[in-house]
């Protein structure tokens, strides 16, 4: 009996051993496949637990951070009001004690805060709710809300305090709000993704900067608009474009109004990416507009050191210095504006053009580089200019800079969680350029707010196969990745080949890769698509468009082959079947290939379209690039039908809002 | 069953001893940390000219010495007493070994060696028939060094190589008729080295940087005046400064902005400096010959040029140079490579050949052709596009130069400096001898829209 037990134990151990060996072998092969052929020390938990958004493990592993973005200082310098974007809060800070006084609940994904001239009301833009909240700063109650366009971002008051100008990022327009009537009185067409707003002290103009380039066509340098409004007539006075620049997040005007300064990024997306040295991939700096209309761009980078993702700019009340936050390297640069004035005033046209690419020039006007905490975003300057408050998004902190000595003298804890989770660590890595050669760019640089920058890049360095940057939002369950579908996982996407072709330096360590992937998969998400009716219903045009999207017959009664129906390739919560297809969109500069059907979630904000960005609008996909109906049957449609289809496409939101049409069976190909 | 006292005592003893050894290993410090290692040059073996030009790479009877660094040097130990001559010590990033160049016997060639401090275990790395010198550790554990090249036409110069610390996989990484010497590694993972053209005529010594796979070689710093060969190896500290000596002067330049940030750290009356090593807390260990001394000794200086009173050492019989301190250092970045040794060519393009900082008046659009030159041949010509761009396929690992021609075939500018392409490398320039501090315009060069013109033999 005892011997029998021993035999059973031995056999059991043997079976376990064999099973374990087989399982281990399979898991090693699985990991190699998913990470791109390189043995990788990740475990099951890396892909199957860390990126999860819901469930017990997700709740235990993660925290709810504040993630502050912007702030405003009260006119007496005693209070700082900070937007905690991911917590939907407005945080009031006492600047004498540097302590949080109160947390005020505001709307979804607040972006910016402005204080009324009498300091009694705070205006908070709620970017995911399309409105402005008016907050009573005594009672901390929401007094009112004002509807704006889609995605309200930065704001500024007119000099007389009567109007509030709001950049509506998602709908490319600018709201003019009459604060007496508490309603929007005008909505002006802005640039592409307007974000920053600054009113000139003279009261004559309002400057609105944009994040994305205007549609310029394939293989053409970006042109990004700064919209200048006439503050008296509330009309667009003039539209000026910065060439080969974009991501103009914020703008500020000098106290005497002689110039406006905008932060910007200068991508080299058309340059074959043969190397990264000498600023061959992306540069960063400022744009300047003088009141005589003269425009210039200046870099804040140096030949071997880059200062990516310039986010905010504030100007000292004496008009002599500007402070720029570089979110990608945890630095605030201090600029001597008199040097800049002299440099530009004495430059010829050709010199100005050269200055825009001159990496060695910044040492003339950058007088200090001040180290801050992780991911410095919004800046606020005290009314006397003595302090600059730096909002550190990935620290839940505010650093206080003494402008006399250009050093950080204090740090204000906003009260976020103290535990740094893996996902938070990934957020810091994502937003920091430390993993690229000479810090030239961070993940954020090409994927601002986890989205895409609207450009196509020559990443092969061959002048061919330009690739349209794709969004990183809501990637869970959407593999494979890349236009040609060669990456089975984000691990592979961000792995060794990423370091060879993109970052050009040491690849992420396994621990850092875990963190970055967890952040991307868990935290980056599409904003709500508010192109529908208020409760989510489709408009009439969108309903008609949906019928066209799901149709099986042409307008003249012919059956559409199943492979040529929209819904065949673009179905399900992400509007993709994750299959490869040739839709006839290859151009003369493309290598022969098929493309992975892209997701269509929030496609309205992903222009330009197609793998090479050649379609400036959704409409152009079919009017210019589908002559043979290879990309779905469209040539039989009327213009109205195409318009309706486009309206429906614009209504497609994130997967979490997907409602399956139970009447449609894609396999059977009919309603 | 009787209790076996001795057996269980022995087992327990072994068990506890193992535990003790384990923790002792975990907590063991490097007992050599903090010591200084340097090269001793016999005074009489070097004339002033050689010293001024730092031409001591293959002198006889040099030794590498290790000592404790207190107020002076103590417990001085000659590490390479079994060598005929040795120099150029460099400590590994883990602080546990060093690499150096040594001549085992008088008639031997100079080779690269490693020495593990613990146990003083020597190991020969290179087995070359030619002299090897100036080794430096790479972050992936390999070693970069210079090796003498003797061409069939009599041309002699040093090229850069890399090799595994076990002697495996020796590979040449620089391919120009230059004296490429004094390699060291910067924090960004690139190799910085001194480089002086020797063919077809002698040029000025300058610092170049390149990736450890031999790609993307470019100018880092060019001394404003012509001091001949007398540049030391360059070292980078933790404050973003790159330091080196140039004809006895200690120079600092900013890593972020090297071409225009030169700063003399010492006054001439403080002495003549031969080598520099960055220590902690903004201090630097110098090999310096003070005005009152007859030989180079070791002293510590701070970033503001003040000498520390805490340490000085000199020896009347020797010049003491190339000091390094045994300590752990942060690993530089390990840069990825796309070099593919199965291929035989690479690609090179220029954004706009009219773009130049050479002070020769050339009208925009005047450049009609590019001529590609090999060592003694013309490899080929190609027309430039209307935007001044051109795109060529070059044979890998061969030195080439470019010159621009007008429509009549007359040389407008050139020849350029030597360059090379590694197998599968793609390389671009903004112009012909363009300003290094200017990033390219954001355009698609017309030439890249076509296939490259082959300039292969």
Cβ distance of B334 and A266 shorter than 8 Å: no
Provide the pLDDT for residue A101.
97
Q: Where in chain B is the domain with CATH 2.120.10.30?
A: 3-325
Chain B residue at shortest CA distance from A223 = B442
Interstrand relation of B426-429 and B345-350 (parallel, antiparallel or unpaired)? parallel
Residues of A within 8 A of B436 (CB-CB) are: 278, 303
Provide the pLDDT for residue B23.
56
Provide the pLDDT for residue A39.
60
Q: How far apart are CA B394 and CA B380, in angstroms?
A: 10
Closest listed residue to residue B137, CA positions, set B173, B83, B177, B189: B189
Cβ distance of B257 and A363 shorter than 8 Å: yes
Mean of all residue pLDDT scores within chain A: 93
For residue B16, give every residue at least 6 positions away whose Cβ sits within 8 Å of its Cβ, in sequence order, or none: none
Q: How far is B244 from chain A (nearest CA, A)?
A: 18
Q: Where in chain B is the domain with CATH 2.60.40.1120?
A: 345-455
Tell whether the model's pLDDT for residue A55 goes beyond 90. Answer: no
Edge-to-edge strands of the sheet including B218-221?
B178-185, B191-197, B206-210, B218-221
Name the residue with tokens 């030597």. B418
Closest listed residue to residue B239, CA positions, set B283, B200, B273: B283
Closest to A357 (Cβ–Cβ): which among B216, B218, B438?
B438
Q: How far apart are CA A227 and CA A167, in angstroms?
A: 10
Cβ distance of A363 and B260 shorter than 8 Å: yes
Q: How far is B365 from chain A (nearest CA, A)?
A: 16
Percent of chain B beyond pLDDT 70?
92
Provide the pLDDT for residue B50.
73
Chain A contact present for B222, CB below 8 A: no
Cβ distance of B255 and A271 shorter than 8 Å: no
Interface test with B, best of A275, A304, A435, A508 (most B CBs within 10 A): A304
Which residue would you say has higher pLDDT here, B9 or A500? A500
DSSP string, A464-485: ---EE----TT-TT--SBSTT-
Q: Which conformational region is residue A652 in: left (phi greater than 0), alpha (psi within -120 to 50 degrees), or beta?
A: beta
Q: How far apart, in Å, are the Cα atoms of A662 and each of A310, A461, A671, B45, B257? A: 47, 47, 9, 93, 63
Q: Which helix (H) or strand (E) holds B383?
A: strand B378-383
Cβ distance of B335 and A363 shorter than 8 Å: no
Cβ distance of B256 and A302 shorter than 8 Å: yes
Confidence of residue A27 (pLDDT cuts 50, 70, 90): confident
Q: Which conformational region is residue A193 in: left (phi greater than 0), alpha (psi within -120 to 50 degrees), or beta?
A: left
Low-confidence ranges of chain B (pLDDT < 50): 1-2, 27
Interface test with B, best of A220, A242, A275 (most B CBs within 10 A): A275
Percent of chain A beyond pLDDT 90?
83
How many Å from the N-terminal Cα to the C-terminal Cα in chain B?
A: 88
Closest to B216 (Cβ–Cβ): which among A221, A268, A277?
A277
Closest to B428 (Cβ–Cβ): which among A272, A299, A302?
A272
Among positive and negative, which fits the CA dihedral A445, A449, A454, A460? Answer: positive
CB-based contact A613:A456 (threshold 8 Å): yes
Q: How far apart are CA A579 and CA B184, in angstroms?
A: 50
Interface test with B, best of A223, A351, A463 (most B CBs within 10 A): A463
In this structure, CATH architecture of domain B3-325: 6 Propeller (2.120)
Here the tokens at position A35 are 């990470």
Interface contacts A/B by beta carbons within 8 Å: 124
Chain A contact present for B187, CB below 8 A: no
DSSP string, B29-55: --TTTT-EEEEEEEGGG--HHHHHTT-
Here the tokens at position A296 are 């210039």
Closest to B449 (Cβ–Cβ): which among A463, A500, A507?
A463
Confidence of residue A667 (pLDDT cuts 50, 70, 90): very low
Which pLDDT tens digit goes with each residue over A211-229?
A: 999 999 889 999 999 999 9
Tell whether the model's pLDDT for residue A381 goes beyond 80. Answer: yes
Q: How far apart are CA B86 and CA B57, in angstroms?
A: 9
Which pLDDT tens digit goes with each residue over A149-180?
A: 999 999 999 999 999 999 999 999 999 999 99
Confidence of residue A42 (pLDDT cuts 50, 70, 90): confident
Confidence of residue A534 (pLDDT cuts 50, 70, 90): confident
Chain B residue at shortest CA distance from A497 = B336
Interstrand relation of A142-147 and A131-136 (parallel, antiparallel or unpaired)? antiparallel
Tell whether the model's pLDDT for residue A554 goes beyond 70. Answer: yes
Burial of B157 (C-beta count, 10 Å sphere; 0-12/13-18/19+)? buried
ipTM comes to 0.92
Q: How far is A94 from chain B (nearest CA, A)?
A: 36
Mean pLDDT of A594-604: 95
Cβ distance of B188 and A461 shorter than 8 Å: no
Provide the pLDDT for residue A258.
95
Chain A contact present for B294, CB below 8 A: no
Question: A326 forms bridges with which residues in the sheet?
Answer: A310, A331
Residues of A within 8 A of B445 (CB-CB) are: 271-272, 463
Q: How far apart, in Å, are the Cα atoms of A20 and each of A26, A29, A34, A427? A: 10, 14, 20, 35
Which pLDDT tens digit goes with each residue over B394-449?
A: 999 999 999 999 989 999 988 999 999 999 999 999 998 889 999 999 999 999 99
Q: How far apart are CA A577 and CA A599, in angstroms?
A: 9
Interstrand relation of B390-395 and B453-455 (parallel, antiparallel or unpaired)? parallel
CB-side neighbour CA atoms (13 Å) of A17: 6
Cβ distance of A499 and B336 shorter than 8 Å: yes
Tell whether the model's pLDDT for residue A668 goes beyond 50. Answer: no
Here the tokens at position B32 are 């050599």
Query: 3-state class of A510 per DSSP?
Result: helix
Query: 3-state class of A418 per DSSP?
Result: coil
Residues of B within 8 A of A507 (CB-CB) are: 336
Whether the bond between A480 and the residue before it is cis, its omega within 30 degrees of 0, is: yes
Provide the pLDDT for residue B24.
55
Mean pLDDT of A582-611: 94
Chain A contact present for B331, CB below 8 A: no
Cβ atoms within 10 Å, residue A637: 18
CB-based contact B349:B392 (threshold 8 Å): yes
Cβ atoms within 10 Å, residue A563: 11
Q: How far apart are CA A429 and CA A439, in angstroms?
A: 12
Which residue would you say has higher pLDDT here, A534 or A637? A637
CB-based contact B374:B176 (threshold 8 Å): no
Which pLDDT tens digit goes with each residue over A331-353?
A: 999 999 999 999 999 999 999 99
Q: How far apart are CA A232 and CA A215, in angstroms?
A: 30
Closest listed residue to residue B437, CA positions, set A169, A9, A279: A279
Chain A contact present for B261, CB below 8 A: yes
Burial of A415 (C-beta count, 10 Å sphere; 0-12/13-18/19+)? middle
Least confident of A124-133, A275-284, B301-310: B301-310
Interstrand relation of A295-299 and A282-290 (parallel, antiparallel or unpaired)? antiparallel
pTM metric for this prediction: 0.93
Cβ distance of A463 and B436 shorter than 8 Å: no
Q: How far apart are CA B102 and CA A668, in angstroms?
A: 79
For residue A495, give every residue at least 6 positions away whose Cβ sits within 8 Å of its Cβ, in sequence order, or none: A35, A36, A38, A40, A507, A508, A513
Tell whether the model's pLDDT for residue A2 goes beyond 70. Answer: yes
Cβ distance of A359 and B259 shorter than 8 Å: no
Provide the pLDDT for residue A209.
98
Mean pLDDT of A312-327: 98
Confidence of residue A664 (pLDDT cuts 50, 70, 90): very low
Residues of A within 8 A of B213 (CB-CB) are: none
Closest listed residue to residue A127, CA positions, set A157, A141, A144, A106: A106
Q: How far is B358 from chain A (nearest CA, A)?
A: 16
Q: How far is B348 from chain A (nearest CA, A)?
A: 9
In this structure, CATH architecture of domain B345-455: Sandwich (2.60)
Closest to A275 (Cβ–Cβ): which among B427, B442, B445?
B427
Cβ distance of B445 and A272 shorter than 8 Å: yes
Question: A13 forms bridges with which residues in the sheet?
Answer: none
Q: How far apart are CA A264 and CA A299, in angstroms?
A: 9
Closest to A505 (Cβ–Cβ): which among B189, B436, B442?
B189
Q: How far apart are CA A230 and CA A177, in angstroms?
A: 14
Question: A81 forms bridges with which residues in the sheet?
Answer: A72, A92
Chain B residue at shortest CA distance from A222 = B442
CB-based contact B208:B217 (threshold 8 Å): yes
Helix/strand number for chain A, H first, E second: 15, 32
Mean pLDDT of A417-431: 96
């Amino acid at each position: 009996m005892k011997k029998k037990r021993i035999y059973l134990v031995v056999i059991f151990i043997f079976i376990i051993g064999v099973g374990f060996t087989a399982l281990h072998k399979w898991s090693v092969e699985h990991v190699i496949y998913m990470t791109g052929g390189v043995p990788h020390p990740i475990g099951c938990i890396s892909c199957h637990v860390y990126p999860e958004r819901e469930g017990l493990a997700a709740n235990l592993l993660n925290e709810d951070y504040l993630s502050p973005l912007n702030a405003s200082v009260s006119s007496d310098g005693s209070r700082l009001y900070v937007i905690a974007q991911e917590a939907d809060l407005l945080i009031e800070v006492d600047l004498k004690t540097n302590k949080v006084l109160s947390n005020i609940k505001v709307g979804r994904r607040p972006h910016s805060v402005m204080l009324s001239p009498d300091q009694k009301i705070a205006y908070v833009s709620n970017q995911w709710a399309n409105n402005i909240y008016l907050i009573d700063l005594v009672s901390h109650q929401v007094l009112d809300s004002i509807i704006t366009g889609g995605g309200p971002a930065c704001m500024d008051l007119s000099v007389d305090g009567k109007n509030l100008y709001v950049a509506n990022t998602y709908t490319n327009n600018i709201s003019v709000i009459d604060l007496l009537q508490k309603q929007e009185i005008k909505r002006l067409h802005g640039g592409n993704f307007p974000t920053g707003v600054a009113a000139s002290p003279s009261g004559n103009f309002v400057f609105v900067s944009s994040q994305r380039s205007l549609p310029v066509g394939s293989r053409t340098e970006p042109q990004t608009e700064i919209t200048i409004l006439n503050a008296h007539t509330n009309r667009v006075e003039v539209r000026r474009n910065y060439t080969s620049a974009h991501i103009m997040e914020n703008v500020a005007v000098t106290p005497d109004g002689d110039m406006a300064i905008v932060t910007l990024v200068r991508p080299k997306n058309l340059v074959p990416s043969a190397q990264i040295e000498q600023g061959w991939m992306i540069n960063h700096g400022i744009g300047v507009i003088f009141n005589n209309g003269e425009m210039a761009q200046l870099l804040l980078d140096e030949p071997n050191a880059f200062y990516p993702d310039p986010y905010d700019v504030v100007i000292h009340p004496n008009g002599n210095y500007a402070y720029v936050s570089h979110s990608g390297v945890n630095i605030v640069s201090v600029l001597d504006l008199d040097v800049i004035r002299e440099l530009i005033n004495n430059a010829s046209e050709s010199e100005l053009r050269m200055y825009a690419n001159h990496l060695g020039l910044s040492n003339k006007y950058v007088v200090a580089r001040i180290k801050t905490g992780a991911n410095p975003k919004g800046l606020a300057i005290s009314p006397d200019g003595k302090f600059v408050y730096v909002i550190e998004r990935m620290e839940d902190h505010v650093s206080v800079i003494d402008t006399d000595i250009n050093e950080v003298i204090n740090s204000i804890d906003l009260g976020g969680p103290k535990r740094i989770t893996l996902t938070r660590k990934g957020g810091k890595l994502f937003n920091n350029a430390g993993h690229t050669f000479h810090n030239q760019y961070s993940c954020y640089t090409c994927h601002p707010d986890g989205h895409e920058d609207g450009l196509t890049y020559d990443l092969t360095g061959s002048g061919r196969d330009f690739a349209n940057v794709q969004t990183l939002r809501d990637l869970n369950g959407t593999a494979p990745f890349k236009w040609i579908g060669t990456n089975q996982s984000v691990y592979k996407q961000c792995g060794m080949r990423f370091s060879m072709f993109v970052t050009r330096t040491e690849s992420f360590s396994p621990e850092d890769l875990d963190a970055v992937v967890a952040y991307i998969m868990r935290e980056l998400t599409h904003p709500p698509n508010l192109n529908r009716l208020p409760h989510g219903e489709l408009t009439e045009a969108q309903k008609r468009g949906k019928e066209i999207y799901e149709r099986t017959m042409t307008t003249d009664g012919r059956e559409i082959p199943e492979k040529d129906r929209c819904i065949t390739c673009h179905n399900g919560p992400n509007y993709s079947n994750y299959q490869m297809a040739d839709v006839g969109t290859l151009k003369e500069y493309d290598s022969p290939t098929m493309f992975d059907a892209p997701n269509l979630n929030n496609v309205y904000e992903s222009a330009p379209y197609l793998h090479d960005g050649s379609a400036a609008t959704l409409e152009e996909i079919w009017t210019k690039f589908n002559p043979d109906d290879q990309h779905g049957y469209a040539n039989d449609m009327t213009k109205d039908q195409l318009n309706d289809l486009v309206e429906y496409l614009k209504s497609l939101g994130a997967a979490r809002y997907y409602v399956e049409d139970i009447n449609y069976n894609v396999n059977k190909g009919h309603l | 069953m009787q209790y076996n006292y001795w057996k269980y005592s022995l087992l327990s003893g072994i068990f506890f001893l193992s535990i003790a050894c384990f923790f002792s290993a975990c907590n063991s410090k490097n007992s050599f940390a903090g010591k200084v290692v340097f090269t001793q040059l016999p005074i009489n073996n070097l004339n002033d000219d050689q010293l001024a030009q730092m031409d001591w790479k293959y002198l006889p009877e040099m030794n590498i010495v290790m000592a404790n660094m207190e107020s002076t040097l103590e417990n001085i130990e000659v590490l390479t007493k079994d060598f005929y001559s040795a120099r150029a010590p460099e400590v590994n990033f883990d602080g546990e070994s060093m690499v150096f160049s040594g001549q085992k016997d008088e008639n031997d060639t100079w080779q690269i060696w490693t020495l593990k401090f613990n146990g003083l275990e020597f190991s020969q790395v290179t087995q070359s028939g030619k002299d090897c010198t100036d080794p430096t550790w790479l972050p992936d554990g390999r070693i970069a060094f210079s090796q003498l090249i003797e061409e069939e036409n009599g041309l002699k110069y040093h090229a850069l190589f890399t090799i595994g610390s076990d002697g495996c996989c020796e590979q040449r990484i620089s391919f120009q008729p230059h004296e490429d010497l004094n390699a060291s590694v910067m924090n960004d993972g690139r190799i910085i080295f001194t480089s002086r053209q020797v063919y077809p005529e002698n040029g000025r010594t300058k610092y170049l940087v390149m990736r450890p796979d031999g790609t993307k070689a470019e100018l880092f710093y060019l001394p404003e005046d012509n001091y001949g060969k007398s540049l030391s190896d360059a070292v980078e500290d933790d404050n973003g400064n790159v330091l080196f000596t140039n004809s006895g002067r200690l120079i600092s330049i900013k890593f972020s902005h090297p071409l225009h940030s030169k700063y003399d750290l010492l006054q001439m009356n403080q002495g003549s400096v031969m080598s520099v090593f960055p220590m902690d807390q903004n201090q630097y260990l110098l090999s310096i010959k003070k005005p009152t001394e007859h030989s180079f000794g070791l002293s510590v200086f701070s970033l503001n040029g003040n000498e520390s009173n805490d340490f000085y050492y000199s020896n009347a019989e020797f010049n003491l140079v190339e000091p390094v301190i045994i300590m752990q250092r942060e690993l530089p970045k390990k840069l990825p490579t796309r070099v593919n040794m199965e291929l035989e060519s690479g690609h090179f393009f220029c954004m706009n050949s009219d773009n130049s900082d050479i002070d020769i008046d050339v009208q925009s659009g005047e450049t009609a052709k590019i001529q590609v030159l090999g060592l003694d041949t013309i490899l080929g010509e190609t027309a430039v596009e209307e935007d001044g761009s051109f795109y060529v396929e070059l044979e890998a690992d061969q030195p080439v130069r470019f010159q621009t021609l007008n429509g009549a075939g007359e040389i407008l500018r050139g020849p350029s400096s030597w360059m090379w392409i590694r197998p599968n490398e793609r390389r671009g320039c903004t112009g012909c001898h363009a300003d290094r501090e200017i990033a390219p315009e954001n355009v698609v060069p017309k030439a890249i829209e076509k296939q490259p013109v082959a300039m292969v033999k």
